[in-house]
Chains A and B, each alone.
Chain A
Amino acid sequence: MKYMARYIFLLVFFIYVSPLWAAEPMEDLKGPVEQVIQILQDPKYKDKAQSDVQRIEIMAVIREIFDFQEISKRTISRQWKKFTKEQQQEFQDTFADFLGHTYYQKVRDAYQGEKVVFLSQEHLENGKAVVKTNIPRQNGAIPLDYKMVNGKSGWRIYDVIIEGVSLVNNYRTQFSKILNKETPDQLIARLKKKISEQKKQDASS
């Protein structure tokens, strides 16, 4: 009888715990990463004229796994409450678009079939986790960590850390300097200007 209780406890424990195990951050991340790599390698996008289609397709995957609302809040941080609801929404969309444009162009030009190596995952407090990955490169790999938060739609990324440099922190420093002098609308305008510059540059190159 004594053992029975223990088994029941273990059984109940595992039943309780298993849904948490079902969605591991690393598993949630692997799918979208594979998808993006697949789109990058897809021969039908070889032609540069197809770039926009390819970018939109990648962005669709990115928007699923990246929590841009959380990212926006964290990059603006204390000034977020100064934004109106509309400004918050607009900032969020523009910033996502900006990141998409910037990194899509870079990745498309630099990608040479490297495989992302998934190293480990580590659970933090409050339903957060870090997934550590590596991108092999000549003379050493680039460590790339994803900070993820567990939400309704599974684990989603709220920060990317490249060689120890947090993307969110980096933009926060820049934005807070700009917002010290300028209004939220001006910041959004700056982002939009940067996007159109990138488009122009990409079209001419």
Chain B
Amino acid sequence: MIHEPISKLLKSVTPAKVSARKRAENTGLRYASLRVRFSPELQQQAFEIGSHDFHIAGIKRVFLFFLMAGFWFFSEVNTSFAQSDYPSKPDIHPSSARKHSEPLEAPVNTVEDDENMKDDEAFDDEEYEDGFSEEEETAAEIPDPLEPWNMLMYQFNDRLYFWVLKPVSQGYGYVVPTAVRNSIWNFFENLESPLQFVNCLLQGKGSDAEATFARFLVNTTIGFLGFADPAGDFPKLKKADEDLGQTFGYWGIGTGWFFTLPVLGPSTIRDSVGMVGDMFLKPTYYIRAIEMSLGLRAVETINTTSFRIGDYETIKEAALDPYEAIRDGYLQLRKNKVAH
């Protein structure tokens, strides 16, 4: 009894194509199967028959989630170790160094911090007395042990953009009128609402959650399934920009290492875990046909990119080290989003 599901799970992790084809044959909505899952007799049946792959797909995602979570935890622990290894970390701010060097501190620290203090004072002109604390804290201080992988993925994504995504999106932009592209943009924006609603709640942002809910209601009904954006006329129904990665950050969880995902771009371990969690809150996840689901994903990406052509080029051309520029930019952007 117990061997069967495990072997199935292992099988399901590796040859994804088989279950993909099965899923393609079965073009129902996934939530229908979710309902099935919760009825115990049917679930038993499903386990025995084993021909249905819905529970396996679920397990696969949960497995992936825990894998990422484990990886992230590992990186978090490592980062905190790494930081205590670098004595240069706490000396960022002259005044904090001074605070540390008070005699009450442990003697080991004092020696270290005194040096740092001298260092800072040599560096300081008067105008550096202030305002450097939070500004000094850049990606440069966050270690990047996954750099080889990230670099590889950066190059992969770079080529993907210039060779595939950009020409396709440009062509799409020429053919499809802006009004239609705007509607499609709105439609996908609207689909993010459940995700944002839950994350607003998880962060205790009641009024934002309310606004998101009202927005979703208005746009889905009066706005023709979200293709129009009537809620946009009301400043009160402002779009929230929250996701699980931000929620984790709001709870005080650190970013973990910088981690570039293939196709999806720059991320951190924390945000990647968040992304997997967020997946469950996207309506498109519950579409069973994988082609349909991927197709929608592709349309969304191409549509969004068609509005954003030139942005990536600007970032790249304005940088001496594009990889570092994007890493720092991403970390800054996320930090700012968590703070709001």
In the assembled complex, the CB of B142 is this many whole angstroms from the nearest CB of chain A, namely: 9
A173 touches B122 (CB 8 A): no
Interface residues in B246-271 (C-beta closer than 8 Å to A): none
Residue B233 is within 8 A (CB to CB) of chain A in the complex: no
Contact among B123, B185, B325 for A173, CB-based, below 8 A: B325
Structural contact, A139 and B140, CB atoms closer than 8 A: no
CA distance A78 to B324 in the complex (A): 18
- List 14 contacting pairs A-B, 8 Å CB cutoff, sorted by A: A74-B135, A81-B123, A126-B131, A139-B185, A163-B333, A164-B332, A164-B337, A165-B336, A170-B328, A171-B320, A173-B139, A173-B140, A177-B321, A191-B320
- Check A175 for interface membership: any CB of B closer than 8 A: yes
Which one of A78, A80, A169, A171 has the highest number of Cβ atoms from chain B below 10 Å of its Cβ?
Answer: A169
Q: A182–B325 Cα gap in the complex (Å)?
A: 18
Does A176 lie at the interface of the complex (its beta carbon under 8 Å from any beta carbon of B)?
A: yes
List 8 tightest A-B contacts by C-beta distance, closest first: A164-B336, A173-B328, A126-B130, A174-B321, A165-B332, A173-B140, A174-B324, A169-B138
Q: Does A125 sit within 8 A of B, measured CB to CB?
A: yes
**B contact set with A: CB distance below 8 Å:** 122-123, 127-131, 135-136, 138-140, 178, 182, 185, 307, 310, 314, 317-321, 324-325, 327-329, 332-333, 335-337
Q: Which residues of A contact B335 (CB under 8 A)?
A: 164
**A residues adjacent to B (C-beta < 8 A):** 70, 73-74, 77-78, 80-81, 102-103, 106, 110, 124-126, 128, 138-139, 159, 163-166, 168-178, 190-191, 194, 198
Partner of A169, one of B131, B185, B319, B332: B332
A168 cross-chain contacts in B, Cβ below 8 A = 135
- Smallest CB–CB gap between B299 and chain A, Å? 16
CA distance A172 to B182 in the complex (A): 37
Chain B positions within 8 Å of A81 at CB level? 122-123
A contact residues around B325 at 8 Å (CB): 170, 173-174
On whether the beta carbons of B135 and A166 are closer than 8 Å, the reply is: yes
Hey, which chain B residues are within 8 Å of A166, CB to CB?
A: 135, 332
Measured between alpha carbons, how far is A146 from B320 in the docked complex, in Å?
Answer: 23
User: Roughly how many angstroms separate A191 CA and B136 CA in the complex, as a whole number?
Assistant: 22
By secondary structure, the A interface counts as helix
Say yes or no: B332 contacts A138, CB within 8 Å. Answer: no
- Roughly how many angstroms separate A199 CA and B191 CA in the complex, as a whole number? 44
Q: Are B318 and A103 in contact (CB under 8 A)?
A: yes
**Beta-carbon nearest neighbor of A169 in chain B:** B138
- Contact status of A177 and B123, CB under 8 A, knowing A125-B130, A165-B332: no
CA gap between A80 and B328 in the complex, in Å: 20
**Nearest CB on B from A153, distance (A):** 15
Q: Do A170 and B332 touch across chains, with their CB atoms under 8 A apart?
A: yes
Q: How far is the CB of A36 from chain B (nearest CB, A)?
A: 18
B131 engages A173 (CB within 8 Å): no
In the bound assembly, the distance between CA atoms of A128 and B128 in angstroms comes to 12
Docked pose: A174 CA to B140 CA in angstroms: 8
CB nearest to A78 among chain B residues = B123
A194→B320 contact, CB < 8 A: yes
Contact A165 B333 (CB under 8 A): yes
- In the complex the two chains form, is B328's CB within 8 Å of A169's CB? yes
Query: Are B324 and A138 closer than 8 Å at their CB atoms?
Result: no
* Closest Cβ–Cβ distance, residue B71 to chain A (whole Å): 24
Question: Distance (Å) between the CB of A199 and the closest chain B CB?
Answer: 12
Residues of A within 8 A of B136 (CB): 77
On whether A177 and B140 interact (CB within 8 A), knowing A110-B310, A165-B329, the answer reads yes
B139 touches A106 (CB 8 A): no
Cross-chain contact B327 with A169 (CB below 8 angstroms): no
Closest to A180 in B: B140
Contact of B333 among A139, A164, A175 (CB under 8 A): A164
Closest chain-A Cβ to B203's Cβ sits at a distance in Å of: 17
Q: A126-B130, A164-B337, A168-B135 are in contact. Are A174 and B332 (CB under 8 A)?
A: no
Q: Closest Cβ of chain B: how far from A112's Cβ, in Å?
A: 12
Residues of B within 8 A of A194 (CB): 320
Contact B328 A102 (CB under 8 A): no
A139 surroundings in chain B (CB, below 8 A): 182, 185, 307
Closest to A80 in B: B123
Please give, as numbers and ranges, the residues of chain B lying within 8 Å of A74 by CB-CB distance.
135
CA distance A174 to B325 in the complex (A): 6
Cα–Cα distance between A152 and B127 once the two chains are bound (Å): 14
